[in-house]
Structure 1
């Protein structure tokens, strides 16, 4: 029987396995991943990783491996305009540094992050089983039994569901969700440009939704481009000439000539919040617990916060000789993470509704609010520390760069 079985071999699942094993190497931990073994190498995307998450990766001994591929975000610019506006006034700017001079976020290619985490699993003896899905879940009392798509049954004292926003394991455990769709999709692609970005990230609030330009190594940027779903599907399916013409209208000419890479995808956007983060022998983490709008760039980082809190809960319970899969132990994790997650879900929902429209009175009000924040250094500093994960009295130790 295993001690911990993680379902989902992405960022969050691999981080959860490494975090627990790092502090409790005597525990037996394995990972179940639905995708084939080499699938992760084909992911062209990049993700924004906040400062607190880089500290956790440093504790794992992985940040030195990842940092050469990471692009620091040195500055953040926020504008609010229509696509047709010839000039986009800047309403809010953030300098990128937080405590210890560390940038508040880095952009990291997904393949670099997953490669480092997979290496960490291999070094710690954590087995990753590929091409398998959960088809059954049963609490037997002393353990949970997980039935897999190949018919195998695995038993573990604790199962951690990191299998995404449409989590099969969450459904098998009977955990309900609050869910609604925004009628928007996020187009994700990479753009090559003539001039250097100098580490500056930009978020343009346009009537259809936010258009985020996020710097990558070299003269490249990652885009998260929100459009109404029907328009996003049309753009992704269009030829390169039309796609780049529409892209240029939003991107502008400040970085010279631009060229979109062939890989572009559209992902439907919605809000999904699990009504409970735990069940007997089960804990939800990452998108299995919460899927939020990318307007704040915090979705993945909420998952890293889950990992830090869950690992600390499990490891401390194990040191006290407690049952790591019991509801009494897991309740601490749920209390720790639930409020923060619901607060972020509500915040992103409100921001998306506030900024994804072109109603003149609302636009005037929101631009006034952005301008007020920009003129109050203390308030700006609070927001940047919140975004970086550097604030909070009850922050898990890993997010502060401390071992459990």
Structure 2
């Protein structure tokens, strides 16, 4: 059977572009199907292992040219619960690091990724989506939005939470929808927050300010979805007063620098991340609320493990793509299970109203505040330690 490429990557987000580049850098002729979408106005807080990967893969040079250093994480329990957690400050210097990571605008990262992709002769990018997927002898076939078909031994699904590749290839997914959503925008503060990401924990979720350079901060406010949409509909003056209250008026005058967007929250996991010549990366394989800065960090670890699986395979063998998918699935299993459990537990603990859960969470933060060994372990887990 003839194939159009060694690999087809489906999905035009950050994980999809990174995967297409990694596959091409491994020496495979690659077709990247990346339908144009609206600009991604969100930001991504990438921990240092992810930043190191971006640099080693040539996706960025100096992170300071693209993003803003995250040197501290400050957690403030703003609830009125009977048992409250202590205010806790994590400083990167405790871990012997100049920074925990860097906060990047997704648009800026995507520009850099596209520039790298354009320089790879064995990578072809098409502005087209996929309408059908089916398995063929020793490979897979996809039908594009223009009706044409493409075949390849290896297909990488990076087409998001509603992944057609995942569903059509028969991967089992578990998804939980939350009543909470996230409101995001950029704010100009009267006083800068430096390199500190500041989390005010409220009963329905955190109100987080992430440094974006100068006096600017990226806001991620998690709360009941109906409440967020109602607040958004009331206009800028209402939002500003709410932001002042939520931030406990610690940063002086606030102005809204960008439009606000509200995103529904859910978790998604799969029974396995690869099989039969198909692999899933990014939100095709996992999705979480924006807690603990794990979303794109986990997606980049997907890409790194895919690159490692490709490095070790003999592509002269007829079933090489199936071997890659099995190897990739085995490499990702423990990380996906551990990270998924950690983020789900953390998010649910933020929402817990029962006294035992409140006590456990408060006790945990007291331990992190007072015990250096536990703080070091928490640093490792939060930064993607395996």
Q: TM-score, normalised by structure 1?
A: 0.88
Cα RMSD between the aligned structures?
A: 2.2
User: What aligned pairs does 1:283-294 form with structure 2 within 5 A after superposition?
Assistant: 283-294=279-290
Between Structure 1 and Structure 2, how many residues are aligned? 381
Residues 300 and 376 of structure 1: is their aligned pair in 2 closer, same or farther, counting only changes over 3 Å?
A: same
Conserved? CA contact 2:188–2:217, under 8 Å: yes
* 1:398 equivalent in structure 2: none
* 2:65 equivalent in structure 1: 68
* 1:402 equivalent in structure 2: none
Residues 99 and 127 of structure 1: is their aligned pair in 2 closer, same or farther, counting only changes over 3 Å?
A: farther
Match of 1:348 among 334, 343, 348: 343
* 1:79 equivalent in structure 2: 76
Listed one character per residue, the Cα deviations across residues 157-216 of structure 1 (whole Å, up to 9, x for unaligned) are: 111000111111111112221111121101111111121211011122210112221111
* 1:20 equivalent in structure 2: 23
* 2:33 equivalent in structure 1: 32
Conserved? CA contact 1:165–1:272, under 8 Å: yes
User: What aligned pairs does 1:3-402 form with structure 2 within 5 A after superposition?
Assistant: 3-22=6-25, 24-25=26-27, 27-36=28-37, 39=38, 42-64=39-61, 66-82=63-79, 90-97=86-93, 101-125=97-121, 126-130=123-127, 132-318=128-314, 323-326=319-322, 328-389=323-384, 391-392=385-386
Give the Cα separation in 1 of the matches to 2:151 and 2:87: 54
Give the Cα separation in 1 of the matches to 2:24 and 2:317: 16
Give the Cα separation in 2 of the matches to 1:32 and 1:98: 43
Give the Cα separation in 2 of the matches to 1:318 and 1:107: 38
Give the Cα separation in 2 of the matches to 1:372 and 1:99: 17
| Secondary structure of the corresponding residue to residue 15 of structure 1 | helix
| Secondary structure of the corresponding residue to residue 360 of structure 2 | helix
| Ranges in structure 1 where 5+ consecutive residues have no aligned partner | 393-404
Listed one character per residue, the Cα deviations across residues 96-144 of structure 1 (whole Å, up to 9, x for unaligned) are: 25877342211011111101100110011322211x2211111112221
| Ranges in structure 2 where 5+ consecutive residues have no aligned partner | none
Q: CA deviation at 1:83?
A: 7.5
Give the Cα separation in 2 of the matches to 1:106 and 1:141: 44
Q: TM-score, normalised by structure 2?
A: 0.92
